[in-house]
């Protein structure tokens, strides 16, 4: 079973080939920080209203530490318990991606915040900015929840592990980051901060995969041990998401306090509730809010993109293409 304690090293016969497929897909989407062109962002920053500038500075302060927290949990709490070599391949890849994200936001902050003191303040946001500190506390609480757990021996251990996994997938990557992406996409739909948007787009693409992998693991564990995921656990997940929504609404109040046209607090709250409901739906749990997505600009994220290369660097290419030269393949 997937969560049996141990260090399985056998890739053949492969027990969880879909984990391996996710690993291969992830490799095809390799991107590097150098590809993101931030130079037009600097001009845009000068054009933003004070309210929008406040939004952006808070947002990047969150990004400055967000991915590091996720990476830490992956190493400290997830890797050791997912006892499948192909699963661990994916997690290794995820760890690399988190590192690239950290590097991207590092580069972004260095570019956006030229003043060294302000920059230091942004990187210590988890301590100074209450709305970010609260989110961090939520994360730390769940990191700590299984930190001492070296092996999963009992049913309760496995449930504790699953709750941590779900927290990071559904609440942190799935809600905190999703919330943050909404601000970025709001700006992008207005033609602002292309560099931030294109980098975030790639981050978002990676995060979607991380979430999908985590839910794969949840599904796998549920299939292997059906009784594990009972009503009690469902309630715990609902409580966890409700708390995460609260944290994120508080963050939104901070970001939007000066008034941003096209992104009201009412709409943002509804959006976050809607996202939370979606996470519950994936887990097969009743929704909490029954809210709808109010942001039409998020719909734009669901369709194919077409960029004019005069304006934007086209991002839809693959790495790791295989095969040999032949002349009679179908095309």
Partner 1 sequence: MTVMRVRKRNGDLETVDVNKIVRAVERRAGDLSEVDPLRVATKTISGLYDGATTAELDKLSIQTAAELIGEEPQYSRLAARLLAAFVEKEVRHQGVASFSQSIRYAHQQGLIGDATAAFVARNARKLDDAVDEDADRNFEYFGLRTVADRYLLRHPLSREVVETPQYWLLRVACGLSANPAEAIGFYRLMSSLAYLPSSPTLFNSGTRHTQMSSCFLVDSPRDELDSIYERYHQVAKLSKFSGGIGISWTRIRGRGALIRGTNGKSNGIVPFLKTLDAGVAAVNQGGRRKGAACVYLEPWHPDVEEFLELRDNTGEESRRTHNLNLANWIPDEFMRRVESDGDWSLIDPTDAPDLPDLYGEAFDEAYRAAEKKAVKSVKARDLYGRMMRTLAQTGNGWMTFKDRSNALSNQTGRPGNTIHLSNLCTEILEVNSDDETAVCNLGSVNLAAHVTASSGVDWPKLRETVRTAVVFLDRVIDINYYPSPQAAASNPRWRPVGLGLMGLQDAFFTLRLPFDSAEARELSTRVQEEILLTALETSVALAEQSGPHPSYAETRAAEGKLHPDLWGVTPAQTERWAELRARVAEHGLRNSLLVAVAPTATIASVAGCYECIEPQVSNLFKRETMSGEFLQINTYLVRELKSRGLWTAPIREQIKRAEGSVQGIAELPADVRELFRTAWELPQRALIDLAAARAPYIDQSQSLNLFLSAPTIGKLSSMYLHAWKSGLKTTYYLRSRPATRIQQATVPVLTAAAEACSLENPESCEACQ
State how far the alpha carbon of 253 is from the alpha carbons of 107, 186, 210, 248, 292, in Å.
27, 16, 28, 9, 20
Q: Which residue of 57, 77, 201, 273 would you call a contact of partner 1, by CB under 8 A?
A: 201
> Tokens standing for 185?
């996409």
Q: Based on the residue annotation, tell me whether 183 is a catalytic residue of this protein.
A: no
Tell the smallest beta-carbon distance from residue 276 to partner 1 (Å).
12
Closest CA to 312 of 187, 195, 204: 195
In the complex with partner 1, the residue whose CB is nearer, 30 or 68, is 30
Q: Is 7 in the site for partner 1 (CB under 8 A)?
A: no
- Rounded least distance, CB 142 to partner 1, Å: 22
Question: Exactly one of 211, 244, 245, 252 binds partner 1 (CB under 8 A); which one?
Answer: 211
Q: What's the min distance (Å) between Cβ of 36 and partner 1?
A: 10
Radius of gyration (Cα) for the chain, nearest Å?
20
Q: For residues 67 and 103, what is the distance between their CA atoms, to the nearest angstrom?
A: 10
Of 53-61, 84-92, 103-111, 183-191, the window that binds partner 1 (rule: CB under 8 A) is 183-191
Give the H/E segment covering residue 256: none
Q: How far apart are the first and last CA of the chain?
A: 43
Minimum Å gap between C-beta 56 and partner 1 is: 16
Q: Which of 58, 101, 188, 269 touches partner 1 (CB under 8 A)?
A: 188
Question: How many whole angstroms separate alpha carbon 40 and alpha carbon 34?
Answer: 15
25 makes contact with partner 1 (CB under 8 A):
yes
E strands, 101-259, in order: none
Q: What is the maximum alpha-carbon separation in the chain? A: 63
Q: Work out the angle at residue 21's Cα, subtended by the Cα atoms of residues 15 and 22, and round it to the nearest 5 degrees.
A: 110
Q: Which of 105, 178, 183, 271 is catalytic?
A: 105
| Complex with partner 1: residue 107 or 124, whichever CB lies closer | 107
By CB under 8 A, the residues from 269 to 328 that bind partner 1 are 275, 278, 281-282, 284, 293-294, 296-319, 321-328
Q: Rule CB under 8 A: is residue 111 a binding residue for partner 1?
A: no
The CA distance from 162 to 160, in Å, is: 5
Of the pair 80, 315, the CB lying nearest partner 1 is at 315
CA distance 78 to 257: 37
Least distance from C-beta 278 to partner 1, angstroms?
A: 5
Binders of partner 1 among residues 233 to 272 (CB under 8 A) are 256, 259-264, 266-267
Count residues contacting partner 1 (CB under 8 A)?
77
Closest separation in Å from C-beta 280 to partner 1: 9
Give the integer Cα–Cα distance in Å for 254 and 265: 10
Interface with partner 1 (CB under 8 A), residue from 23, 177, 178, 183 = 178
Annotated catalytic sites, by residue?
Answer: 105
């Amino acid at each position: 079973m997937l969560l049996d304690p141990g260090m399985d090293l056998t890739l053949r016969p492969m027990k969880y080939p879909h984990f391996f497929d996710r690993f291969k897909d992830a490799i095809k989407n390799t991107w590097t920080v150098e590809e993101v062109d931030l130079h037009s962002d600097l001009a845009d920053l000068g054009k933003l209203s004070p309210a929008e500038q406040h939004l952006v500075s808070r947002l990047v302060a969150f990004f400055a530490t967000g991915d590091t927290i996720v990476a830490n949990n992956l190493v400290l709490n997830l890797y050791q318990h997912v006892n499948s070599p192909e699963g661990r391949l994916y997690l290794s890849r995820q760890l690399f991606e988190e590192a690239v994200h950290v590097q991207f936001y590092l580069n972004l902050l260095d570019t956006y915040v030229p003043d060294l003191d302000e920059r230091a303040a942004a990187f210590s946001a988890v301590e100074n900015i209450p709305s970010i500190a609260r989110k961090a506390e939520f994360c730390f609480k769940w990191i700590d929840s299984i930190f001492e757990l070296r092996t999963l021996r009992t049913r309760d251990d496995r449930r504790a592990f699953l709750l941590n996994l779900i927290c990071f997938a559904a609440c942190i990557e799935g809600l905190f980051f999703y919330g943050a992406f909404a601000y970025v996409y709001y700006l992008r739909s207005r033609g602002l901060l292309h560099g931030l948007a294109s980098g975030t787009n790639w981050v978002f693409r990676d995060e979607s995969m991380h979430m999908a992998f985590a839910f794969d693991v949840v599904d796998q564990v549920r299939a292997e041990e059906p009784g594990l995921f009972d009503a009690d656990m469902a309630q715990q997940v609902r409580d966890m998401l409700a708390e995460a929504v609260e944290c994120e609404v508080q963050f939104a109040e901070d970001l939007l306090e000066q008034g941003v046209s096209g992104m009201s607090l009412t709409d943002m709250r509804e959006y976050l509730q809607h996202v939370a409901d979606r996470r519950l739906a994936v887990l097969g749990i009743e929704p909490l809010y029954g809210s709808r997505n109010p942001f039409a600009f998020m719909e734009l994220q669901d369709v194919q993109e077409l960029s004019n290369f005069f304006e934007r660097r086209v991002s839809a290419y693959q790495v790791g293409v295989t095969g040999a030269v032949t002349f009679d393949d179908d095309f």
